[in-house]
Structures are given as C-alpha cells and as structure tokens.
Chains A and B, each alone.
Chain A
Amino acid sequence: MILDSKIPDGPLAEKWTKHKFNLKLVNPANKRKYNIIVVGTGLAGASAAASLAELGYNVQAFCFQDSPRRAHSIAAQGGINAAKNYPNDGDSVYRLFYDTVKGGDYRAREGNVHRLAEVSVNIIDQCVAQGVPFAREYGGLLDNRSFGGSQVSRTFYARGQTGQQLLLGAYSALSRQIHAGKVKMHTREEMLDLVMIDGQAKGIVTRNLETGAIDTHAAHAVLLCTGGYGNVFFLSTNAQGSNVTAAWRAHKHGALFANPCFTQIHPTCIPVSGDHQSKLTLMSESLRNDGRVWVPKAKGDKRKASEIPEDERDYFLERKYPSFGNLVPRDVASRNAKEQCDLGKGVGTSGLAVYLDFAESISRLGEDTVRARYGNLFDMYAQITGENPYKEPMRIYPAVHYTMGGLWVDYNLMTTIPGLYALGEANFSDHGANRLGASALMQGLADGYFVVPYTVGDYLATIGPKAIDAKHPAFAEAKAKVEAQTKKLLAIKGTKTVAEYHRELGHIMWEYCGMARNDAGLRKAQVLIQELRADFWKNVNVTGTNEELNQQLERAGRVADFLELGELMVVDALNRSESCGGHFREESQTEEGEALRNDNDFCYVAAWEYTGDNQPEVLHKEVLKFESVKLTQRSYK
C-alpha cells in the first residue's frame, strides 16, 4: 500500500487555495440527494454537521451522550489559538505554522499545519458571529493570552471554559440545522461498526443505549469525529465515556492507524489521591503564565511550602530553560516534573507532585486580578483537594491528556477507506509528536467548519448521488456481527468487573508506555496486555441484558477495544526507538536528558494496518518531507 498524502504541490502558502480550486464541486441542487453520517458532536463533529447541513446535504449525527452539547470538548479550559496578531506582537500565519511544526517535534505534515494556521483566523470570526462570549478588554476588543510553546499571545479564551463556549457555539449552529430538518440527531446512540460495500464506507451500525436496539444507517460518506483515546490509560483528563471504539472498528476494516504511541501527558493536573480515583482533573496550562513551578532543593524535604525559604527552592523550569521558563511545551514540562519526583524531591503525601505557586503573581497583580484570570480553576482545585490555592501553592502532577495519534488521513481528511473521514482528535493529522496548548480546539473547528465541507464534496461528486441500497447484504452482515459480539460479552458471566480490567490495562500502559518508555518495558507490556485481553474474554462479568440501558455493556465494548489498541500503542512505541515530542525512549536522549530525535531513521508517520485478530499489524511509512522548515533539535533554553 502506498500512502498518498495528497498534499498539493506549489508554494506552502498557496497549497490550500489552489487545492480548493481544484476540488470538484457538488451542484447545489444535487446536495440534498446525498446523505452524510457524522459520528460525534464535539467541536469537530458539531461544526462539520452544521456546516454540511447549511450547504444542503442531509446529515445524520450521532453521539453517545444524552445531548450533543455534552461531548468531551465541553471540558476544554484554556483557549484556542489563532494567528490574528491582534496584540501586534509579531504573530503571523507563518509563525503559528512554524510553532506548531516545531512544537510537534517535526513529525507533522507541513501542508496540513499551514492550512490549519491559515483557517485559524476564520474560526474566531465565526465563533464571535455565533455569540461566543470571548474575553474582552475594556476597549471592547478581544483579549489574548499566551500559552506554552509560543512567545506571542495568540490564545483567545472565555474564562477557563473556552471549550464549553466554543462547543455551545457549534451546538447552537447544529441545533439550528436540526430545527430546519437538515440534521437528524441521534443521541444516546453508539456506533459499533462500519458498513463497507465494495471497499467503500457506506454506513454504520449503532446500538441505541436506551433500548439496546441495534440498527444500521446508510450514507454516501461517513465522518468519524469521535475524539481521542487517552482513556486507554484508565486515568486521564478525558471524560469517562471517551473511547476509541468507532475509530478502532474502522481500523479493523482497513483504515490505517497512525502514530498510536504519540500520547500527550499534561504537566498541570491534580495528583492522584487514592485507588478510588476515576479520572484526573486538569488545571489549565494557562496557569503556567502566572504560576511558578518548583520543588524543594533538598530531597525528602517534608516542610510545608510556606516554611521553605526562597533560596531552598528550585524553580527547575526557570533554571533549566531561561528563555521559555515555565512556558516550555507540555512534554518538556511533564518530563521535568517526573524527573524531580524520581530524584526524591516530589511534594505532598505521595511524593508524586510538584508545586505550582502563585504567591509572586498575587503580590505583583493582586488577588483580584488573579481571581479574574483563573477564578474557576482555583475553585475547582479547592473543591477537589480541600486546599486554598490563594494561600498555599497548588500541587500538580502530569496526567494523560491528549492523543496525537489517530486514524491516518490524507490532506482531504479521508482515511485509507474511501468515503470514510476522520476529524478532530480522532485523526492524527496536525500535531506531530506533541500538541501545543490551545491547538486542539483550533484543529477540531478547522476540520469541521473549514476543511471537510470542501473536501467531502470532491469525493461525493466523484461517486455521484445514486441512493445507497440499504438492502445490500453488507448491512445485515454488519448488524449480525455486532449482535454476536454483544451476546458474547453478556454470556461470559465471569468474576472480574469491566472496571477491574480497565484499571489493570491502565496500570500497564502508564508504567511501560507512559512518560518514559524503554525496549524491555515495552516488550513486557505487550505480553501483559495479550494475557489480560485473553483473560477478559474468558472472565469478564458484564451484568444485565442488551435490551435496556446497560452501562456495563457499553463500557465492556469500549474496554475490549482498548485492550487491542493498547497493544498497538506498545508495538508502535517499540518500533520508534527515537525520542520525539511526547514519546520519550530512554535509549534516545542527549547528555542533558533531553529527547533525542533520529531524523535519519524516523522522519515518517507510522501507519499500521490491521491484519486479523491477534495477528501482528503491518507497518506502512509515510515519509515526511520538510520544504519550509529546517529540522533542528528543539531547544527551549
């Protein structure tokens, strides 16, 4: 298989314009003859569904929550990047492009990233027109803040609830199209398989989570906007329901899965408090603008933070990275926190935490200003820990947050299955080996509002508007397969709960495929996961029946897929013996302990092909070509 990224040639800044011109168009009168399925109503899905419906296509949208407004995107806190250059501090489309490629440690496609930077400015215009109440300055114009991995202020925000406001904007556009009858919304309905006819995606199989009814839906194209798979680690900042099922089941039909091991560990999360922990809460990275990260200089110093004098504190990020200081990219910040804790300097009862201290900002800016900027984050921290962060420094520790890997897509966001697209966090496209803060919201909305509405038309115009035959045996076969798997899960009636398997998998992943990875550990993890998976299918206890709301059954299906994905992540991490971005192979580091890339051998996207149950996956390489940016060892010193 040859992976054709379909990046148009020509100068970087003209590629997208030229490409748009060359894409085939669907005649306006014909659009209503096409049906499009959009799975997921997060930023990517809601924006795509609304935009496609506005163009005149018939859209069916799906989500597993009770309302499209509850998609995981709602939880994003810090902000969204755009190259508006309103603060006049030297930002530009090119600089956003450059920062993103560099931040991703040169493992993303130049063409895609430049397009992302180009459309970023349109996103802000769109959101403001929808009534998104971004933060403003006294003059009435939009306010910006800075974020990790960049030296300009290009992040737009709505208090600490940017994702909520952007999602509610997209949700309102979606609601308008539902009202207009152009989108049929299916809530509490989970996609469990893809329907393929002659090698093309033509529909999906879903389970109604209220009644258990298993149905099929036909369409000319299917868009997966189903989010990331960070929950493979059990503990992550993701919402409880976030999962890989839709993408994974598409993968089993031939959609290649790219860079599965590229996981982002976010540096500023509230540390684990006990075995009952079900999720980890992120404290937005924007806090690093005004918070200073430190540990005691002495190992095992158990004094209270306030009792540790200034000269006995190590502000290790400021010390090691004087030009970026506390604003180094996430992977660098996370690894350094782990390093300090490994050295025995961690704080709190577990010793697995570092301080994030606002004392200096509060004395410089006043408590009111700090409250205005971060009030809800401080409240959240106080609520969870029972401590007052205005008085004592926060304790933070890294946690799994985002997955850069995902379904491989070309420049049109089409997977290796014709007619199947992947948008938002579900694809692998723009962030390389590390995503910069405030760039996921940008990418989700770029894909949904401004990329797919053009590119999907090209495919639709090619296949023509002939109705999909819903009686084609492929639909009945796909449905029977889903029914059989459901029956199988319910019939095992073993002794271990679904949550127990999930937690065990999470331990393996975090231990061996987390912040630092090595050959021996990864090999061990692969065996452990295989054993755990085999045991799951023999001994899991899924209570209840199919014909009812059954949260155990829902989760069992998701964990079953995580148990397969987990192994692929480990295999991918083993293959990539270099370090890059969020992927740190202990064997590949500089003398100073920084990630050491190997561009000669690994300047490629690793795209994996499924070949059968319990069979090794086959690696395909998309070699990355850099025409505009010179590859350098990332330095934030």
Chain B
Amino acid sequence: MSGHMNLTLKVWRQKDAKAAGKLETYEAKDVSPDMSFLEMIDVVNESLIKKGVEPIAFDHDCREGICGACSMYINGHAHGPKQGITTCQLHMRSFKDGETITIEPWRAKAFPIIKDLVVDRSAFDRIIQAGGYVSVNTGVTIDANAIAIPKEHADNAMDAATCIGCGACVAACKNASATLFLSAKVSQLALLPQGHPERAARVEAMIDQMELEGFGNCTNTEACSAECPKEIGQEHIARMNREFYAAKLSSSKTK
C-alpha cells in the first residue's frame, strides 16, 4: 500500500531483573503511517510469536496518553522524538521508510527493569504516599463552592495536576531525578487553599522519600520538562523549591 514503510528495530530484550539484557534486531515490514507506535510493536509481536520467538514485553493500557503506563525510550528520547506526547500517541507517520529505531526501557536506579521494556515505577507511588494528598476523610460537609478559588490558581493547579506519573522526566534526566514529578504534586496542592494546612510537612516528606528511593538530585538541566509528555514546566520546580525553603524556615523539625 502507498506510504507503507519497512523499518529496522533494535529492541532491548532482558528476561528478568537479574538477567543481562541486550539489543536484538527485528524487521518491521509494511508499517502503515496511521499506526501508533504501540500498534507497530503489536504487529511485530504477532510475527515473533508465529516464528516461535517470545514477544516483546512492554507496559501499556489506555493507549491514549493518559494512564502513564507506556514508557519507551525511542532513539534516545523518552516517548520518542515528538514533544508533548506519550509513546502510545506517537504515530508511525513520524518515521521514514528504511529508518532504524532503537527502543529501550527507562533507565534509572530507582526504576529497576522487570522484563524487556517493563520497569518498576512503584517508587513514584511511595513518594505520593509520603504526603501527596490532602488529609480529608470521606464525608466532607463543606459545600464545594464555599471557598472561591481564583480561576488562574485553579488553572495553574490543573496544569500541574495533569502529570501522568509516567517517569519520562526521570528517564530523561542525567541524574535520574524525580524532581519534576514531585514538584507537579507539590505545586498543585500549594496553589489550592485545600492544600495549605499541610504544605510544609508535605514537601519535606515527599522530598525525603524521593531521596530514600535512590533518585538523583536536580541540577536544573531542564531535560525533564523537554521530554515530559504533559509539558509540566520548570515553574513547578521553582514553586516546590519555595515551598521547601519556607518549610525549612518554619520547621521545628531538627535533623
């Protein structure tokens, strides 16, 4: 069919967490430009199964850029070459016939590889568990409109809240820092009055947890925002830093 492409894939294959991994080469034939990147892998996997080769394992679920499951490092970019999208939203029309595409998992100490392109991102959950919430129980009785929130604050909070927890920021960072991810949650809750009572404790607890998980420090390279599929900006890191210093100043905690 017109516009269809033949591609060469170099894919990271690793049997389990302990095994050594390596890049294997596969041919992807007759790829339609309308396919998503994951659909292209589906087709390759079907052909691998037919040849008796184990299919490539990768995380995915929603396939529309919102669940944060998909996580491929494509030609040296988290989620591939295009900005503002996840791997599942990348379409093959972004590639050219004859191209070679290298596909690797996220690489970070805090994200151990489970198999092939699947990594363990549970450290992100533990960072949220450390304090990424407002402590309210079910059964609130304050009317939702009792507190007016300036639209601008609500919109900025929403910008931060769109983080999908994919981990591309960590994968893109030479220090494997989770600062952008963390700052998105801190920033969202700092912008909303509901988040204020716990703001000091929250930022400290989350940063402590990040360090405990083995993520690196932020050295302001801004690679994270550049690769973030939701384009979470650096202003959230700045806001998080302000929260952190304010917390330190007011903190009675001595370490």
Contact = CB atoms under 8 A, between A and B. Distances in A.
Do the two chains belong together in a single complex?
yes
Contacts, number: 215
A210 B16 CA distance: 9
Nearest to B119: A66
Contacts of A276: 32, 34-35, 39-40, 42-43
Contacts of A528: none
Interface in B140-198: 140-145, 147-151, 154-155, 157-158, 161-162, 164-165, 188-189, 192, 194-195
B67 A541 contact: no
Nearest to B163: A168
Contacts of B149: 136, 140
B162 A164 contact: yes
A17 to B, nearest CB: 15
A140 B151 contact: yes
B133 A172 contact: yes
A520 interface: no
Interface stretch (A23-31, A68-76, A611-619): A68-76
B146 to A, nearest CB: 9
Interface string A433-469: 0000000000000000110010000000000000000
A485 interface: no
B138 A51 contact: yes
B161 A168 contact: yes
Interface in B36-60: 36, 38-40, 42-43, 46, 49-50, 54-55, 57, 59-60
B135 A176 contact: yes
B248 interface: no
A239 B63 contact: yes
B21 to A, nearest CB: 14
B235 interface: no
A274 B42 CA distance: 14
Contact of B61 (A72, A126, A499): A72
Contacts of A173: 133, 136, 138
Q: Which of A70, A131, A187, A541 has the most CB of B within 10 A?
A: A131
Nearest to A128: B144
B81 to A, nearest CB: 14
Contacts of A122: 139-140
Contacts of B62: 70, 72, 74-75, 239-240
Contacts of A168: 161
Interface in B102-136: 114-115, 118, 120-122, 124-125, 128-136
A21 interface: no
A499 B46 CA distance: 8
Contact of A142 (B57, B115, B144, B150): B144
Contacts of B141: 125
Contacts of B161: 133, 158, 164-165, 168
Taking each of B49, B66, B140, which has the highest tally of chain A beta carbons within 10 Å of its own beta carbon?
B66
Interface residues on B, range: 35 or more
B85 to A, nearest CB: 6
Contacts of A589: none
A172 B66 CA distance: 17
Interface string B201-229: 00000000000000000000000000000
Contact of B189 (A124, A131, A277, A544): A131
Interface string A72-103: 10110000000010100000000000000000
B88 to A, nearest CB: 9
B137 interface: yes
Nearest to B93: A386
Nearest to B161: A133
Interface stretch (A2-10, A145-153, A475-483, A546-554): A546-554
Interface string A273-305: 110111101000000000000000000000000
Contacts of B54: 543-544
A172 B60 contact: no
B200 interface: no
Contact of B35 (A124, A274, A500): A274
A129 interface: yes
Contacts of A500: 46
Contacts of A142: 144-145
Given A67-B125, A125-B140, A239 B115 contact: no
Contacts of B29: none
Interface string A371-388: 000000001100110100
A66 B69 contact: yes
A54 interface: yes
A69 B165 contact: yes
Contact of B144 (A66, A84, A380): A84
A70 B43 contact: no
A13 B188 CA distance: 38
Interface string B61-84: 111111111000000000000001
A557 to B, nearest CB: 16
B89 interface: yes
A396 to B, nearest CB: 15
Contacts of A472: none
A50 B140 CA distance: 14
B47 to A, nearest CB: 10
B239 interface: no
A178 interface: yes
A55 B164 CA distance: 29
A175 B128 contact: yes
Contact of A67 (B89, B124, B192): B124
A137 interface: yes
Contacts of B157: 131, 133
Given A140-B151, A158-B158, A549-B114, A380 B55 contact: no
B193 to A, nearest CB: 9
A278 B194 contact: no
A11 interface: no
A278 B63 contact: yes
A66 B133 contact: no
Q: What are the 9 closest A-B residue pairs judged by CB atoms, nearest first?
A: A140-B148, A172-B133, A51-B138, A133-B158, A273-B34, A128-B144, A133-B157, A179-B129, A129-B140
Interface of A: 47, 50-51, 54, 65-70, 72, 74-75, 84, 86, 122, 124-131, 133-142, 158-159, 161, 164-165, 168, 171-173, 175-176, 178-179, 185, 187, 210, 239-241, 273-274, 276-279, 281, 379-380, 383-384, 386, 449-450, 453, 497, 499-500, 541, 543-544, 548-549, 551-552
Given A175-B133, A276-B43, 20 more contacts: A50-B138, A51-B137, A65-B69, A70-B69, A72-B61, A125-B143, A133-B154, A134-B154, A135-B154, A140-B151, A141-B148, A172-B134, A173-B136, A175-B129, A185-B125, A240-B61, A273-B32, A386-B93, A449-B138, A543-B55
5 contacts: A67-B125, A74-B66, A75-B66, A239-B61, A543-B54
